[in-house]
Homo-oligomer: A and B are copies of this chain.
Amino acid sequence: MTNNEIKIISERIEVENPYILIGLPDVGLIGVISSSQLIKSLDMKLIGYIDSEKLPPIVVIHQTTPMSPLRVYGADNVILIVSEIPLPPALIRPFSKEVVTWAKALNPTAIISLSGIPVPNRMDIEEPGIYAVASGQRALERFDELEAMQVQKLEEGFMAGPYASILNQCMKETPPLPNITFLVQSHMNYPDPGAAATLLATVAKFLNVTIDVEPLFEQAEDIRLRMRDTMKRTSQTMQQVNKEQEYEIPAFYA
């Protein structure tokens, strides 16, 4: 039933063992800012979109062309799934299932989630730290490389929302699908292009591709202004999500 609720519609993908990146509006808008720069820098091609009866009636216009706010891009062995709008809570699980089912058929090297982790003193941090959570054989094999890239394994903690749901779906596959979630320290309630740039630099090393992150650093101030309003709305919706879904910080420690 769930798989009928939301559907990825895309061109046929021929590349073997791709990296599948996920960029969603979240803490610091890391996923969305990163995705935008990835598309520009890798000159990614629009190859699909995501359709659901339960998505709000929204169309976005880019370069005079109307399109869905949830889209799929591709360039060589990198595939990107991006959403410009927060997912309605009722769609989080169906979305995750569809993404993981769709990704599994492509036999991916890894599903890579681009996320942020809020720090209160972000202002005082020159170089934001990056944490990672991994699941699945292929991902765990490369988990140790990360230390050389200044990425720390998250020891104790929890994840909530769409990225957690995607990780959960990957873990439930037999064998588990390789998933790495990158969490870069970022602002909670403001877009953080600086943190997104730091994350992209590491992702570039991990994927062994070249990504121009300079524009993000340069335009940080400019982007901050353009995105302030959007951020406020995203933040309100996320509060609502938190409330409706009762994202509880688990009470356990072991």
Interface residues, chain A, with chain B CB atoms under 8 Å away: 2, 25, 29, 32, 35-36, 39-40, 51, 53, 56-64, 66-69, 82, 84-86, 88, 92-93, 96, 133-135, 153-162, 164-165, 167-168, 171-172, 226-227, 229-231, 233-234, 237, 240, 245-254
Contact = CB atoms under 8 A, between A and B. Distances in A.
Contact of A251 (B40, B57, B234, B240): B234
19 contacts: A36-B253, A56-B245, A56-B248, A57-B92, A57-B93, A57-B165, A57-B247, A58-B159, A58-B164, A59-B167, A60-B250, A63-B155, A69-B158, A82-B252, A85-B250, A85-B251, A227-B251, A227-B253, A229-B249
B36 A252 contact: yes
Contacts of A246: 56, 85-86, 88, 237, 240
A247 B58 contact: yes
Q: Which of A29, A35, A62 has the most CB of B within 10 A?
A: A62
B156 A58 contact: no
Instruction: Return the 9 tightest CB-CB contacts between A and B, nearest first.
Output: A84-B250, A84-B252, A57-B165, A59-B164, A85-B248, A56-B245, A64-B153, A60-B158, A230-B251
A159 B250 CA distance: 24
A252 B32 contact: yes
List the number of copies, as a whole number: 5
B96 A40 contact: no
A contact patch SS: mixed
A156 to B, nearest CB: 6
Given A84-B251, A252-B35, A57 B168 contact: yes
Contacts of A231: 251
B57 A160 contact: yes
A33 to B, nearest CB: 8
A154 B62 contact: no
Contact of A254 (B36, B165, B240): B36
Nearest to A68: B168
Contacts of A64: 133-134, 153-155
A172 B51 contact: yes
